[in-house]
Amino acid sequence: MDLLWHDGKLLGIDWGLWKLVGWLGNLVFFSRFFVQWYATERRKQVVVPTAFWWLSLTGSLLLLVYSLHQRDSVFIFAYLFTWIPYIRNLVIHRRHVEAHVECPRCGRSCDGQSNFCSACGAALTAAESHAAR
């Protein structure tokens, strides 16, 4: 028990609001590893799910806020610009999803530019394709 609770501190850490923000940022940022690993194992191919980018954005912003509070220039610079590719990837993903149309026969998501479903060969009507744009 001394390992977890030492000198009246959990894990020997002086806990406060800002320490909690910093550790929460670490936890959220690290959890993206498990999300990506699970998605890749499930599909048996490398996959980066949307949740990965949301966890990256949330964790890095929490760590940036914590580093600003600590006034640690190295830590601040490490997280100052990381949000840019995370937001960009979320925008790209959203545009990709919006550019697809659902096949009326099999329900598969098809490229909005396609005339036929790649899974079942059903014709995609112009209205369906244009509705996706």
Residue 106 and residue 92 share a domain: no
pLDDT score at 1: 58
Q: Is the dihedral of CA 83, 84, 85, 90 positive or negative?
A: positive
Kindly state the average pLDDT of the residues 105-129.
80
pLDDT score at 80: 95
Residue 124 and residue 68 share a domain: no
pLDDT score at 129: 45
How far is the CA of 49 from the CAs of 2, 57, 97, 133, in angstroms?
40, 13, 13, 23
Residue 106 and residue 94 share a domain: no
Mean pLDDT value across the chain = 87
Classified as helix, coil or strand, 85 is: helix
Residue 48 and residue 17 share a domain: yes
pLDDT score at 58: 97
Full-model pTM? 0.71
Residue 88 and residue 108 share a domain: no
DSSP code at position 91: H
For residues 123 and 131, which has the higher predicted lDDT (pLDDT)? Answer: 123
Residue 57's nearest CA partner among 93, 24, 28 is 28
Residue 81 and residue 125 share a domain: no
Residue 34 and residue 19 share a domain: yes
Q: How many domains does the chain have?
A: 2
Query: Quick check: 126 and 133 in contact, CB under 8 A?
Result: no
Q: Express each pLDDT in 10-61 by its tens digit.
A: 777 778 899 999 999 999 999 999 999 999 999 999 989 999 999 999 999 9
Residue 114 and residue 67 share a domain: no
For residues 55 and 122, which has the higher predicted lDDT (pLDDT)? Answer: 55
pLDDT score at 126: 56
Residue 110 and residue 76 share a domain: no
Structural domain span for residue 81: 5-98
Answer yes or no: is pLDDT of 127 > 50: no
